[in-house]
Each structure stands twice: as C-alpha cells, then as structure tokens.
Structure 1
Amino acid sequence: MSAGFPPEVVAAVSRHMNDDHAGDALLICRTLGGRPDATAARTTGLDADGIDFAVTVGGTEVPVRVPFAHRLTERAQIRREVVRMYREACDRAGVPPRPAG
C-alpha cells in the first residue's frame, strides 16, 4: 500500500484540479493515462505514488491512475509533479503548454 497524504490535502488538490485544471487533467489522462478516447476527466485522489482520475469514455466513467515519476514525500512536490506531467502531456500531444505564472 502506498503512503498517503492527509485527507484534507487530497481533497484540496482534487478540488483545485477539478475547479481550475480540468482541461489539463483530461490531457494528462489522454496522453499519460492511456485513454486517448476520454472526453472528460476529474481528479478523484492521489497518494505518494500517483494521481487518480475518473474519465468519461463513451458516456461511462472509468478509473485512470497516472503514476508520478518518483515517490512524493511533501505536499509542495505535488504541484511540481503535476506541472511536470502536464508539460510531458503537452509534449506528447504536440501542443504548446501555457506559460508558467
């Protein structure tokens, strides 16, 4: 079993991803999560080893887990790792990432 973050951290990250970065989550799931057919994605959780999504495929939600590049041990690492994943997803999809800021 993977080490986890406190429930309030998981809830805050999930809420932020769903409220502010749903398109980024969808791109991550399509490219890194192996679901190019996904039409929507929502973050459902995370732990030290990866982030979990529910993606819509053909009108049905299916789970997708995308592993982190390395085990995370601190909350501050979550943002850096999700940004890294987003940039990798953009690269794989051939789309330019948004400017940082």
Structure 2
Amino acid sequence: MSDPITPAISDRICKHMNEDHSNAIVLYAKVFANVSEAETATMESIDPEGMNLSITVKGETIPVRVKFDHVLKDSEDAHHTLIDMVKKARTSNS
C-alpha cells in the first residue's frame, strides 16, 4: 500500500507538481475550477478530498479549491487521479 496523504506527502506532491508540471496545474484551474482566464497557478496543498490552488488572473492571486470526484485512498491514488484529471482537462480544453 502507498503512503496516506499527510501534510508531508501533500508538500512533496505540491513541490513536484509546481516544479515539474506547472502547465497541468493551470489546466486544473481552467477546467476544474472554471477559471478560464488563469494565467499561472500553483498547487498549495492536497488532501483526500481535493486540492487548493493559487491562481493568477490579470495580476491578482485567487485561492481556489478543486474537489476530486472521489476520496483519495493514498498517494498512489493521488498520482493516478492527477494524471487522469490532466488527460480530461487536455481533452476538454482543446
């Protein structure tokens, strides 16, 4: 079994996403938070029910909560869910 989503795991996931997948976070903001004007976005935290993003729109930072379609079991579930979400976002944003 994978790691439960603790604050330390949340920090690890957010650091990885912000450093390596910033475009995916902007897609989450545009598609799942319905902020189509999002210019940049960072993942602030993740928990079993959703993720908290900071989105920049026209120079203003807006905090947004994106809920998952299910409660995450662990960090592996988070990994697969985030990948599935970016695939869905790419399809609906094209």
**TM-score, normalisation: structure 2:** 0.91
The CA distance in 2 between the partners of 1:46 and 1:71, in whole Å, is 11
Q: Please give the per-residue CA displacement for 1:36-82, whole angstroms capped at 9, x wherever unaligned.
A: 01100000001111111100011011011111110012111001000
The one-letter amino acid paired with 2:73 is: T
Equivalences, count: 91
> Is 1:45 aligned to residue 45 of structure 2?
yes
Q: Which has the higher contact order (CA 8 A, sep 6+)?
A: 2
> Is 1:35 aligned to residue 35 of structure 2?
yes
Which secondary structure does the structure 2 equivalent of 1:5 belong to?
coil
> Is 1:80 aligned to residue 74 of structure 2?
no
* Structure with greater helix share of residues: 2
Which secondary structure does the structure 1 equivalent of 2:46 belong to?
strand
Cα shift at 1:5: 2.3
Q: Percent identity?
A: 25
**TM-score, normalisation: structure 1:** 0.85
4+ long deviations beyond 3 Å: none
What is the aligned-residue RMSD (CA, Å)?
1.1
Q: Unaligned 5+ residue runs, structure 2?
A: none
The CA distance in 2 between the partners of 1:75 and 1:23, in whole Å, is 21
